[in-house]
């Protein structure tokens, strides 16, 4: 298993339905334990990228490969030198901003360099082989292992493309010793668990529309259901269209959705679920 990322985050106080919450993952775990005691069905839904997994290590590996390419090392010698010296990574969604921040070089987003970087990154970031570079956020592993003991149903709801990323996603879950769904025909029976499911994108819908449709199906038959997601626009959709689902924003990176994030924070009331940026249980 890959070592956990040594991130230290702050914890915020939120409340849900009048109950004082110090930490959403701790609250969810307590609710799942109580549901097990009274034999009520409960489900917890997780996004993957930038929710359970810190993807900056995937991006780093891609650009280190870029820097080893003879064509680009000759074309961009200063940048390549800077890439080879990267340390203390910071998670940034946009690949050009990621390279610029870590290299200390201002990159024109309309330049040939930006085009080369983005093209190289896009082909590989959404390729199953590179998922092995992802690392778990500190504390998320412990939360997942404790949830397993409650017997709750666990669903990974991701916008990853099933055709291209199914195999890599399953191998990544196994690699990090997370609950693994039962998927036929892939030879992982010794790992899979019947109460765990994986839903991946197989359509051309927007991520928000796709997850809206899936949440409508997933919430059926459960006394309590929880959802953790890093995209503010999707969190807002879930809160508005599926209020019976307790939805929490994991405050990591947000695909450039600054306006959605501000709108989400502005819509939160004292008795509404808010965001958290720390998986570590108190």
CA 152 to the chain's CA centroid? 20
Ordered by start, the domain boundaries in the chain are 14-54+135-276, 56-132
Tokens of 123: 């082909």
SS3 at position 213: helix
pLDDT at 256: 56
pLDDT at 129: 94
Binned at pLDDT 50, 70 and 90, residue 222 comes out as: very high
14-54+135-276 maps to CATH 3.30.160.20: no
Q: In what order do the strands lie in the sheet with 224-229?
A: 196-201, 153-161, 42-46, 224-229, 246-250, 275-276
Of 279, 51, 44, which is closest to residue 159 (Cα–Cα)?
Answer: 51
Of 134, 141, 90, 91, which is closest to residue 281 (Cα–Cα)?
Answer: 141
> For residues 194 and 182, is the Cβ–Cβ distance under 8 A?
yes
3 state SS for 113-182: HHHHHHHHHHHHHCCHHHHHHCEECCCHHHHHHHHHHHCCEEEEEEEEEHHHHHHHHHHHHHHCCCCEEC
What pLDDT digit, counting tens, does each position of 121-162 carry?
999 999 999 999 999 999 999 999 999 999 999 999 999 999
Given a cut of 70, is residue 214 above it in pLDDT?
yes
Neighbours of 32 (CB within 10 A): 25
Given a cut of 70, is residue 5 above it in pLDDT?
no
Given a cut of 60, is residue 72 above it in pLDDT?
yes
Average of pLDDT values for 193-198? Answer: 88
CA gap 179, 153 in Å, rounded = 10
CA gap 215, 199 in Å, rounded = 11
Q: What is the mean pLDDT of the chain?
A: 85
pLDDT > 90 in the chain, percent: 71
Query: Between residues 247 and 9, which one has the greater pLDDT?
Result: 247
Given a cut of 90, is residue 118 above it in pLDDT?
yes
């Amino acid at each position: 298993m890959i070592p956990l990322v040594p991130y230290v985050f702050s914890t915020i106080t939120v409340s849900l339905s009048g109950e004082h919450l110090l930490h959403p993952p701790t609250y969810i775990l307590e609710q799942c334990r109580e549901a097990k005691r009274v034999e009520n069905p409960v489900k917890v839904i997780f996004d993957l990228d930038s929710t359970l997994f810190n993807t900056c290590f995937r991006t780093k590996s891609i650009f280190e490969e870029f820097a080893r390419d003879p064509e680009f090392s000759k074309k961009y010698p200063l940048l390549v030198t800077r890439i080879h010296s990267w340390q203390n990574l910071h998670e940034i969604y946009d690949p050009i901003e990621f390279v610029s921040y870590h290299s200390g070089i201002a990159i024109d987003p309309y330049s040939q360099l930006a085009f080369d970087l983005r093209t190289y990154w896009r082909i590989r970031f959404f390729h199953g082989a590179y998922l092995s570079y992802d690392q778990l956020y500190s504390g998320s592993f412990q939360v997942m292992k404790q949830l397993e003991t409650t017997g709750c149903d666990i669903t990974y709801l991701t916008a990853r493309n099933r055709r291209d990323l199914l195999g890599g996603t399953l191998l990544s879950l196994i690699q990090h010793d997370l609950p693994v769904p039962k998927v036929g025909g892939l030879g992982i029976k010794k790992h899979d668990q019947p109460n765990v499911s994986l839903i991946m994108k197989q359509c051309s819908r927007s991520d928000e529309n796709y997850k809206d449709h899936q949440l409508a199906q997933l919430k059926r038959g459960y006394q309590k259901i929880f959802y953790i997601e890093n995209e503010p626009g999707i969190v807002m959709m879930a809160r508005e269209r599926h209020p019976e689902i307790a939805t929490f924003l994991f405050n990591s990176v947000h695909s450039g959705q600054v306006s959605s994030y501000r709108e989400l924070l502005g819509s939160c009331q004292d008795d509404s679920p808010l965001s958290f940026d720390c998986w570590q249980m108190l």
